[in-house]
Amino acid sequence: MRLFTTGKRKSSIARIIMTKGKGNIEVNGKKLTDYFTRGTSILILRQPLVLTNHETSFDIRVNVQGGGLTGQADAIKHAITKALLEFDKELRPTLKEAGFVTRDARIKERKKPGQPKARKKFQFSKR
């Protein structure tokens, strides 16, 4: 059984292949701990697996691109959540209550013309 899903966060896109296995996670051809050096990123992306007691049930291969490491970790978390929902529909209330099902759609606001940044204005000069 193979599950293919996609997760997104900011400008990061994660595509995963989840198969029955022993809990190995591979990100862009590297081991999880080699790709994500910060422990918090590893904790973030493993949250759905820990919450549903599937840490050692699946092997996950991830292809992630775009954004920074935190956005990539959240994109992987979103993809894993979607794959778990495909695997077992009964997990939906648990994952929904934890807030993992909804995509975090916050992205960088575009820069407007005539301004130095998205919302910052040039200093007003009276004279």
Tally of CB atoms within 10 A around 52: 21
12 strand-pairing partners: 9
% of the chain residues with pLDDT over 90: 91
Q: What is the pTM of this model?
A: 0.89
Place of tokens 């973030």: 44
Q: What does pLDDT average to over the chain?
A: 93
pLDDT at 127 over 90: no
CATH code given to domain 2-98: 3.30.230.10
Pairing state between β 25-27 and 58-65 = parallel
- Strands (DSSP E) contained in 21-55 are 25-27, 30-31
Mean pLDDT within 56-71: 94
The pLDDT value recorded for residue 109 is 93
Stretch 117-127: mean pLDDT: 92
Confidence tier at 50 by pLDDT (50, 70, 90)? very high
Strands, sheet with 12-20, edge to edge from the N-terminal-most edge strand: 2-9, 12-20, 58-65, 25-27, 30-31
- By three-state DSSP, how is residue 109 classified? coil
Q: What is the DSSP letter of 90?
A: G
pLDDT level of residue 1 (50, 70, 90 thresholds): confident
Per-residue pLDDT, 22? 93
Report whether 74 contacts 44 (CB < 8 A): yes
pLDDT on residue 114 = 93
| Predicted local confidence at residue 47, as pLDDT | 94
